[in-house]
Amino acid sequence: MTGVEEVTPGAVRAPGPVRRRVVLAWGLWDWGSSAFNAVITSFVFGPYVVRGVVGDARPGGLTANTWLGISGFAAGVLVALIAPITGQRSDASGHRRRNLAIWTGLVVATMLGLFSVRNEPSYLFIALVLLAAGAVFQEFAGVSYNAMLPQISTRETLGRISGFGWSMGYFGGIFLLLICYVGFIAPDVGWFGVTSAGGLNIRTVAVFSAVWFAVFALPVLFAVPELPAGPQTRRVSFLGSYRLLVADVRRLYAEDRNSVFFLLASALYRDGLAAVFTFGAILAVSVYGMAQSTVLIFGVVANVVAALGALAMGAVEDRVGPKRVILISLVGLLFSCTVLLFASGTTMFWIFGLLLCLWVGPAQASSRSFLARVARPGREGEMFGLYATTGRAASFLAPGLFALFSAIFSDRIGIVGIALVLLAGALALSKVVPPTSSLRPTRSSAGA
């Protein structure tokens, strides 16, 4: 006897009762990571690169949006190639927490580096490299972070805790956006005497956001314990990790095709979910007449609504299961897209645009908990690595279809492209068997 209980595949390992302090520490990483997702990529630094750094210039004959697309594509390829083995290697070595610290530190470093990007076209390529590197490191950090979910929850609380994490991310983004707006963006002379000369206010926001992320990432590194290393047979070289990955995917397909089908289905609808936020601001201005100064406020409200949706439906998920929550959310998204296809004016966009956001949070949170419920104990990092890879593999669909329908018809009809991806994801998910509720949490040695 080894003193370690056998762990049933698909069981959620929980070291005793869920501790709120540990859950809060875990959720604070989501709160802090919003500094990169909301401020750097979505609402502040990304637009600064387009309008402030490049403006009307066309470096290499291409627009800033095109260059950002190329940068994002390169980041996606790297994530697709490397994310699965980073998860597998962290599972095997027992260094999940250490890896989270490393990747988070690298994200923070790239954010600090953005301070060097002045509002001149010659700084574009520095910005592109830093943004792409930050996106890659953020995805790798997310693999280790998501894999911790089964460590801090039981099967009965997994949905609520996953929803809590997503809502913390949304609320963190809201709070930080408001701070940055009031302190650095809105006033002519912001905190610490910062002005807009040379893009200093936006560059300072990048530094402020980096510090924000670093501070709120610390608690999880002390509160969530490391797991024991995996079997010696899984501790292989870097190249050997790829051979092991191929063998694992073949075995997963042979033994648990349902999980493979979920990964593929979620890749489709998660691409649609990302497109809702990516193109929401564009449509608000170009189709529904919203003033550019109002878009940031809409973004704040949208994050509030998405957070509340994730919290509310997380509790519902623990009673009805993640598949139903995801399908309900996708139906709600498709309904809102259909209304917006025929609606006009800012009032209708406020109503149904926010209704769209209401369903994004629950779909994201329940997707994470769905995978955590079906992942084999000790292999969560590998599964979330595959989750990141499949999501990246399909990340071109919604943007591509949006661009296609927009080019052929109009920006408004571009909504059809997003809706088609969401519909395809919903249809694929309907064929996936949901996690069984009969499996009970099985304690590992961590709880012995």
Sign of CA dihedral 147, 153, 158, 160: negative
What's the rounded Cα separation, in Å, for the pair 169 and 165?
6
For the entire predicted model, the pTM comes to: 0.73
Confidence at residue 92, expressed as pLDDT on a 0 to 100 scale: 53
Series of mean pLDDT values for 10-residue runs along the chain (448 residues): 33 53 91 89 79 81 74 76 64 72 96 94 92 89 81 72 80 89 86 90 94 96 72 54 69 79 88 76 71 71 82 79 90 91 86 87 84 71 66 68 75 84 92 64 34
Whose CA is closest to 372, among 317, 435, 308? Answer: 435
Cβ proximity of 349 and 288 under 8 Å: yes
DSSP string, 274-328: HHHHHHHHHHHHHTT---HHHHHHHHHHHHHHHHHHHHHHHHHHHHH-HHHHHHH
Q: Which residues contact 41 (CB under 8 A, 6 or more apart)?
A: 131, 135
User: How many CB atoms are located within 10 Å of the residue 322 CB?
Assistant: 29
Sign of CA dihedral 323, 326, 332, 338: negative
Tokens in use for 149? 């979910």
Give the alpha-carbon dihedral of 147, 177, 304, 23, to 10 degrees.
30
User: How many CB atoms are located within 10 Å of the residue 100 CB?
Assistant: 24
Tell me yes or no: is domain 15-227 CATH 1.10.3720.10: no
What's the rounded Cα separation, in Å, for the pair 214 and 107?
9
Whose CA is closest to 265, among 95, 432, 85, 25? Answer: 432
244-377+396-433 and 15-227 share a CATH fold: yes
CATH level 3 topology of 244-377+396-433: Growth Hormone; Chain: A; (1.20.1250)
DSSP string, 376-435: PTT-HHHHHHHHHHHHHHTTTHHHHHHHHHHHHT-TTTHHHHHHHHHHHHHHHHHTSPPP
Long-range contacts formed by 122-126: CB under 8 A, 24+ apart = 123/53, 124/49, 124/53, 124/54, 124/59, 124/64, 124/67, 125/59
- Which sequence spans correspond to the domains of the chain? 15-227, 244-377+396-433
Cβ proximity of 95 and 226 under 8 Å: yes
Burial (0-12, 13-18, 19+ Cβ within 10 Å), 161: buried
Confidence at residue 107, expressed as pLDDT on a 0 to 100 scale: 97
One-letter amino acid of 180: C
User: How many CB atoms are located within 10 Å of the residue 178 CB?
Assistant: 13
What's the rounded Cα separation, in Å, for the pair 208 and 154?
36
Identify the helix (H) or strand (E) that includes residue 208: helix 200-223
Whose CA is closest to 305, among 183, 167, 434? Answer: 167
Identify the helix (H) or strand (E) that includes residue 210: helix 200-223
Confidence at residue 126, expressed as pLDDT on a 0 to 100 scale: 94
